[in-house]
Amino acid sequence: IDISTLRTVTSGITTLDAGFKNTSSCKSAITFLDGEKGILRYRGYSIEELAEKSEFLEVAYLLIFGELPTKEQNAKFHSDIQKTALVDEDVKKILDGFPKSAHPMGVLSALTSALTAFNPKSVNVDSEEDMYRAIVKILGKFPVLVAWAYRKEEGLPLSYGDNSLGYVENFLKMMFELPNEKYKMNQTVVKALNKLLILHADHEQNCSTSTVRIAGSSHAGLFASISAGISALWGPLHGGANQAVIEMLEEIKEDGGGYQKYIEKAKDKNDPFRLMGFGHRVYKNFDPRANIIKVSAEEVLNDLGIDDPVLDIARGLAKEALSDEYFKSRNLYPNVDFYSGIIYRALGIPVPMFTAMFALGRLPGWIAQWKEMRIKKEPISRPRQLYIGATLRPFVEESKR
Ligand code: ACO
């Protein structure tokens, strides 16, 4: 039902749908998702095929511009992004102002918003060229900010990229100053990270993407809108879940590895504890990304020769929960974040950085959705409410309260 038509015709019907569980906020041609059947497609291409055959930047192009790029388009896109991959030195001063204990997502959100001050023209996106310029700028600068947020958190000196490298390799170089004694550029790692970023690249109108579209609908700039999305992604019920999953698995490990107790806790309605990485607002049978990433996690650990007891706990916990009536009856399955943290751990990425990695992956989706919203000239997002507060009351003087 087109609610806007319904409202006009009947003059004044509004719907109440807390959490927008059954409300479409827009028409979109970017990502198709069938939660019942576990289908996810970007611009018509299946996530399974893209994760297997494509590269992250190619998928970014697909999401943002609607088609897979030709070789020439891909090369130009890559080179345009590389040309913008420098961040103003003064942004470092802002970074310096953060305490080392600051969460990388807070740092990332602030620095992304701050980019507007250093690129004021990025706000005016009236022409296609202006829009393109803003898009390649954020794609170029964002990995630098993510790497800097990591190096700040680790107390390491800031790093610079190497334009001869691919997008994912360059990001790893900036993170770890590769090659170094501790960490070499490993193709298994590059492949796994490429896959993870593709799997996270878009997920239609999720909480952070809706935030980007809503903020952008006021014609706030792209960088400010993305910054709002980063803040929304931060929470443990959304992007923060990957951090919460590993923290939960580590807690179980330290508690002796008995996951049964935690399954019982999750089932107890008097206990606020939830099994992190279980359940999804839209996928009600399985998360197709989880199936792909589960295999990838096993590959990475095997290739890198890592024996991670946390993965054993994850395997056992998932098996047990999947056969439990509570989880079965509510269609609660492991989601992508149940396994992504295991890969990030294997790559040597610290837990507080997990959600920032998710943000790096989601960036093309945020951009694509923002661009679609602007090109279609969507109206400012402004939901209504059902007011349930007090009726008119006379003001009470302070002495009488
Ligand atoms: N552990 C235990 N019980 C759960 C869990 C869980 N992880 N998730 C849902 N339930 C239960 C609820 O208690 C509720 O039970 P009830 O019907 O007896 O009241 C039922 O399942 C339905 O749950 P809702 O909260 O209504 O489902 P909703 O669609 O609103 O929430 C969400 C989805 C937020 C993902 C939820 O499943 C959750 O909190 N999961 C854990 C956090 C998580 O992994 N988030 C990552 C999401 S994926 C992503 O952002 C990439």
Contact 346, 206 (CB under 8 A): no
Q: Is the pLDDT of residue 1 over 60?
A: no
Q: Is the pLDDT of residue 3 over 90?
A: no
Band of pLDDT at residue 53, cut at 50, 70 and 90: very high
Task: Check the CA dihedral 259-264-270-276 and report its sign.
Answer: positive
Q: Is the pLDDT of residue 64 over 90?
A: yes
Q: For ligand 1, atom 29, which residue shows the shortest CA distance?
A: 281
- Provide the percentage of residues in the chain whose pLDDT is more than 90: 67
Question: Candidates 274, 276, 327: which one to mutate for ligand 1, based on the most atoms within 8 Å of Cβ?
Answer: 274
Residues with CB under 6 A from ligand 1: 237-239, 241, 266, 274-281, 330, 332, 335-337
Q: Indicate the pTM of the whole model.
A: 0.89
Catalytic entry in 103, 203, 238, 280 = 280
Q: Does the annotation mark 337 as catalytic?
A: yes
Q: What radius of gyration, in Å, describes the C-alpha atoms of the chain?
A: 22
Specify the DSSP element, H or E, that contains 343.
helix 336-346
Q: Which atom of ligand 1 is nearest to the CA of 337?
A: 51
Q: Is the pLDDT of residue 72 over 60?
A: yes
| For residues 22-45, average pLDDT | 95
Band of pLDDT at residue 135, cut at 50, 70 and 90: very high
Residue 311, pLDDT score:
82
Q: Which amino acid is at 68?
A: L
Q: For ligand 1, atom 43, which residue shows the shortest CA distance?
A: 277
Residue 122, pLDDT score:
83
Contact 168, 156 (CB under 8 A): no
Q: Which atom of ligand 1 is nearest to the CA of 237?
A: 45
Determine the distance separating the centroid of ligand 1 and the alpha carbon of 88, expressed in angstroms.
41
Q: For ligand 1, atom 9, which residue shows the shortest CA distance?
A: 279
Q: How many CA atoms, within 13 angstroms, populate the side-chain half-sphere of residue 223?
A: 26
Question: Candidates 248, 332, 338: which one to mutate for ligand 1, based on the most atoms within 8 Å of Cβ?
Answer: 332
Residue 124, pLDDT score:
84
Residue 8, pLDDT score:
55
Q: For ligand 1, atom 44, which residue shows the shortest CA distance?
A: 277
Question: Candidates 31, 238, 281, 336: which one to mutate for ligand 1, based on the most atoms within 8 Å of Cβ?
Answer: 281
Q: Which atom of ligand 1 is nearest to the CA of 266?
A: 2
Q: For ligand 1, atom 10, which residue shows the shortest CA distance?
A: 279
Residue 299, pLDDT score:
86
Q: Give dist(CA 299, CA 67) in Å, integer.
A: 30
Q: Which atom of ligand 1 is nearest to the CA of 280?
A: 35
Q: Which atom of ligand 1 is nearest to the CA of 335?
A: 48
Q: For ligand 1, atom 20, which residue shows the shortest CA distance?
A: 330
Report CA dihedral (161, 165, 169, 175) to the nearest 10 degrees: -10
Quick one: the chain helix, strand, coil %, rounded to 5? 60, 5, 35
Place of tokens 């590059």: 190
Pairing of strands 45-46, 31-34: unpaired
Determine the distance separating the centroid of ligand 1 and the alpha carbon of 275, expressed in angstroms.
8
Q: Measuring CA to CA, which residue among 388, 385, 389 is closest to residue 18?
A: 385
Determine the distance separating the centroid of ligand 1 and the alpha carbon of 276, expressed in angstroms.
9
Residue 4, pLDDT score:
59
Structure letter (DSSP) for residue 385: -
Q: Give dist(CA 117, CA 142) in Å, integer.
A: 15
Residue 289, pLDDT score:
94
Mean pLDDT of the chain: 91
Band of pLDDT at residue 24, cut at 50, 70 and 90: very high
Rounded alpha-carbon distances, angstroms, from residue 91 to 1, 158, 238: 47, 12, 28
Band of pLDDT at residue 342, cut at 50, 70 and 90: confident
pLDDT tens sequence across 147-197 = 999 999 888 988 888 888 899 999 999 998 766 655 567 888 899 999 999
358, two tokens: 């998710």
Q: Is the pLDDT of residue 80 over 90?
A: yes
Residue 10, pLDDT score:
53
Q: Does the annotation mark 203 as catalytic?
A: no
Q: Is the pLDDT of residue 249 over 70?
A: yes
pLDDT tens sequence across 271-309 = 999 999 999 888 888 899 999 998 888 888 888 888 888
Q: Give dist(CA 48, CA 54) in Å, integer.
A: 10
DSSP string, 130-175: HHHHHHHHHHHHHHHHHHHHHHHHHTPPP----TTS-HHHHHHHHH
pLDDT tens sequence across 383-399 = 988 889 999 999 999 99
Q: For ligand 1, atom 27, which residue shows the shortest CA distance?
A: 281
